[in-house]
Structure 1
């Protein structure tokens, strides 16, 4: 049974997600960069990396541990992440009768920059502190755009023409509304957040290579000590820890999706020692690779 939220648009969103997710799991869709999520029970905390994107809950609730803070968000709210963040996340509200229903729209940095350049510039970033994640109530206009984007799954012939237009509208609404606060530092040319964003983007494409802090710092136009300081302040972990998490997350996905053994997965993500890989994997995910993958498959 789908619990009907107070908002008609939110109720429609929940109904659409439920219709296109018949069981618990994560479901990529025909709409580019849009993934649907469904869980029939609360879940254990899972380490993962949140990328630039908007996560929306249509029914249920979720809890996210970010740095040293616990973020609770629920139906009718969205979480905007402006830069890759290692988090520990779990579904906090979900059941067979009233499953957790959510969606994730991955955003494109270049499209955000191009759109922002055509709009009135946002106020300058605050002088102190970094804010890379924000949770807000979904405003009616943004909720309507999300509903129309998800509704394209019922009209697949229109996706190629309509999805880019609706996604552009969503970005405009994010830049014009309360979510813009989390984008301000990212949009400021030459800001530490923008430099670290570029570093993270490079690391995601080259995580199999050895980590060289001096080269990364030079690319970010910072001294090594300043680079380490800004990276930890913005991402919440050191460059070395982030590099390891990228490798481990990719290896986990390879073992799940391609049924690779531990040694093969470790080698593909840049580890020379399978035993070192297993130790670091257990430290992050709480169990050795084979046991963790078996548990993931059993829980869907």
Structure 2
């Protein structure tokens, strides 16, 4: 992995000290909860005391910093394992499988997830034109990168605002701008630069991703999607698959199945109403695709998830 451009090489000891400080502060704030949306815009804390089963979720553009334990996130056929030495950068809304793979009562899994403000990214790029370079690699809009001392120091200052609510409105944006700037300066930040740079193929593909996200219940027509992205159909298909590791139709299907699962688990819908609610016209097709995605039929899967939830 790469060091951030222009960063000062901190000693491993200093980085470990900052990581320990951040873990202590996160543990103190979250207590025994499994997650805590903080008062700081976009910042959520997570804690688990045992490994978890794989869970299908959609990640927003964000940076996830693990300070204890390990996590595995699978996008398509690519898995990203990361712990205290690396963070996960997500540049687009991506349906993934997420799993805590290392956690215990003695050393719980602790993670800080910061949602990225793409408008802020664009504003910083407009003030630093040299950062807005074109990116032509066919790599997904997700990667891991080294968690440097600079990042840990910034997150320590950010999380401290939870205990100084009077400072959040002013200081939070300043610290988050610093974090985004450091991401953009890194080699791995090229993915985020591409998504945010107006006119770039990554940014135009992101418009197609956003359209599917907002209209996933509707029938998907590639001509409509290509028009949204201002691309030819074959060009969009190529860039879409490169960024998301799936085709537009597969992406839509993942969103539909994730939302149907949520409707059954959280809102008490039966399988048929969940299927029609997310855009399926055939309950049997929904059952087949759900079983293929989650390993068992809808109702059996939801019952199993509720049993796990009751145990926790």
Q: Normalising by the residue count of structure 2, what TM-score does the alignment of the two structures yield?
A: 0.86
- Partner of 1:27, secondary structure, is strand
What is the CA-CA distance between 1:144 and the residue it aligns to?
1.4
In the alignment, what sits opposite 2:3? none
1:45 to 54, 58, 80: 54
Specify every segment of 5 or more residues in structure 2 that has no aligned partner in the other structure, as ranges. Answer: 1-13
The reply on whether 1:255 has 2:264 as its aligned counterpart is: yes
Specify every segment of 5 or more residues in structure 1 that has no aligned partner in the other structure, as ranges. Answer: none
In the alignment, what sits opposite 1:200? 209
Instruction: After TM superposition, list the pairs within 5 Å mapping 1:32-181 onto structure 2.
Output: 32-122=41-131, 124-181=133-190
Q: Tell me the alpha carbon deviations over residues 214-259 of structure 1, each in whole angstroms, 9 at most, x when there is no partner.
A: 1001221222222222211221111111001111112222333323
Residues 253 and 155 (structure 1 numbering): CA distance in 2 closer, same or farther, change over 3 Å? farther
Contact 2:211-2:225 within 8 A present in 1 as well: no
Distance in structure 1 (CA, Å) of the matches to 2:140 and 2:215: 26
Comparing 7-16 with 230-239, greater Cα deviation is found at 7-16
In the alignment, what sits opposite 2:231? 222
Q: Give the aligned length.
A: 296
The reply on whether 1:290 has 2:285 as its aligned counterpart is: no
In the alignment, what sits opposite 1:28? 37
The reply on whether 1:211 has 2:220 as its aligned counterpart is: yes
- Partner of 1:36, secondary structure, is strand
Residues 185 and 6 (structure 1 numbering): CA distance in 2 closer, same or farther, change over 3 Å? closer
- Partner of 2:104, secondary structure, is coil
Q: Normalising by the residue count of structure 1, what TM-score does the alignment of the two structures yield?
A: 0.89
What is the CA-CA distance between 1:191 and the residue it aligns to?
2.3
Distance in structure 2 (CA, Å) of the matches to 1:296 and 1:34: 26
Q: Tell me the alpha carbon deviations over residues 40-82 of structure 1, each in whole angstroms, 9 at most, x when there is no partner.
A: 1112223333221101101001122333333221113211111
